[in-house]
């Protein structure tokens, strides 16, 4: 496939941004990255990408990165403090959307989460994501918001030593999705106008509670599942001045309360349903 469209990926060196950048390029798009460290980005992704040095907090570099592009995909990660969540998930999204509108960019795509709504905005992260979504919608630039379920790639992040931490009473069944399926769907969205001005729920092909998913992963990774309450993690974070632990306790408390809502039917129809199963993914990374 050949494609003359140029897509900017912001956050293209991250866990979820990198596979999107790679999939876009594999599908024939020209791909530009905005990176604070171009040398590191080039080493991580290899040749074939245009890399502009800069940061979303720098208006000049942001404008330079957005100039002459056909679309921009936002894959930013905020936290752990409330100010950091607001800076990345709200202010940065707002500034990108407004600049994209001014420069006539054809569309903006944004990774969000399934539990983002007025009713569920009960943490700094969920409130910031909600504000970011609202800023994108009100900017006037065509958009697609991907409200994704939990990614399989997050499972190793819960591992410490020989244990994987099951934080909180996670009772909800979740449709775990592989980043490769998500990346394919993002790339596909740039090949059709049917996805414009929509919020699409991105759910994987099978559902497991977090405990079930961790047990499956643990069998391949050679670790054991170690439960810990959100209250205990929050206390540990407080006494040790560990803001990451406190933020994680807040995040997992959010998911104790809120399961998936919405339907993935429209996303699957427009972009093709995810195919990667959790055990298949575990087998691949265990090799």
In which band, very low, low, confident or very high, does the pLDDT at 2 lie, cut at 50, 70 and 90? low
Tell me how far CA of residue 85 lies from CA of 59, 76, 114, 132, in angstroms: 19, 10, 17, 10
Tokens of 86: 């607001």
What's this model's pTM, rounded to 2 decimal places?
Answer: 0.95
Residue 144, pLDDT score: 98
Query: Tens of pLDDT along 81-111?
Result: 999 999 999 999 999 999 999 999 999 999 9
CA distance 144 to 120: 21
- Using DSSP bridges, classify how beta strands 71-74 and 50-53 pair: parallel, antiparallel or unpaired: unpaired
Alpha carbon distances (Å) from 19 to 29, 50, 275 = 14, 16, 16
Percent of the chain with pLDDT over 90: 97
Do residues 69 and 190 lie in contact, with contact meaning Cβ atoms separated by under 8 Å?
Answer: no
CA 224, chain centre distance (Å) = 27
pLDDT for 212-239, tens place per residue? 999 999 999 999 999 999 999 999 999 9
CATH of domain 6-151+178-203+260-274: 3.40.50.720
**Is 75's pLDDT higher than 70?**
yes
What is the residue extent of each domain of the chain? 6-151+178-203+260-274
Helix (H) or strand (E) holding 10, with range, is strand 6-10
Task: Provide mean pLDDT across the span 67-77.
Answer: 97
> Which position has the higher pLDDT, 2 or 55?
55
Phi-psi sector, 22: left (phi>0), alpha (psi -120 to 50), beta: alpha
Instruction: Average the pLDDT over 133-142 and give the result.
Output: 98
Task: Taking residues 182-200, report their average pLDDT.
Answer: 98
Q: Tokens 């009960």 belong to which residue?
A: 122
């Amino acid at each position: 496939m050949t494609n003359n469209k140029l897509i900017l990926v912001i956050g293209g060196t991250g866990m979820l941004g990198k596979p999107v950048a790679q999939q876009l390029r594999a599908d024939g798009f020209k791909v530009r990255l905005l990176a604070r460290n171009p040398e590191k980005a080039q080493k991580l992704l290899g040749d074939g990408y245009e890399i502009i040095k800069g940061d979303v907090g720098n208006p000049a570099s942001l404008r330079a990165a957005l100039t002459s592009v056909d679309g921009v995909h936002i894959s930013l990660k905020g936290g752990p403090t409330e100010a950091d969540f607001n800076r990345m998930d709200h202010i940065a999204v707002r500034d990108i959307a407004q600049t994209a509108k001014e420069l006539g960019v054809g569309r903006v795509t944004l990774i969000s989460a399934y539990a983002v709504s007025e009713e569920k905005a009960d943490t700094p992260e969920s409130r910031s994501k909600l504000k970011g979504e609202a800023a994108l919608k009100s900017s006037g630039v065509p958009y697609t918001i991907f409200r994704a379920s939990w990614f399989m790639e997050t499972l190793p992040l819960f591992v410490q030593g020989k244990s994987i931490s099951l934080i909180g009473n996670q009772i909800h069944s979740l449709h775990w999705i592989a980043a490769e399926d998500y990346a394919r769907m993002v790339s596909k969205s740039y090949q059709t106008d049917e996805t414009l001005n929509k919020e699409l729920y991105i759910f994987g092909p099978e559902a497991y509670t977090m405990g079930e998913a961790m047990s499956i992963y643990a069998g391949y990774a050679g670790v054991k599942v170690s439960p810990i309450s959100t209250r205990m993690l929050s206390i540990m974070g407080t006494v040790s001045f560990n803001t990451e632990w406190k933020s994680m306790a807040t995040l997992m408390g959010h998911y104790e309360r809120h399961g998936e809502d919405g339907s993935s039917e429209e996303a699957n129809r427009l972009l093709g349903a995810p195919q990667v199963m959790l055990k298949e993914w575990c087998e691949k990374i265990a090799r």
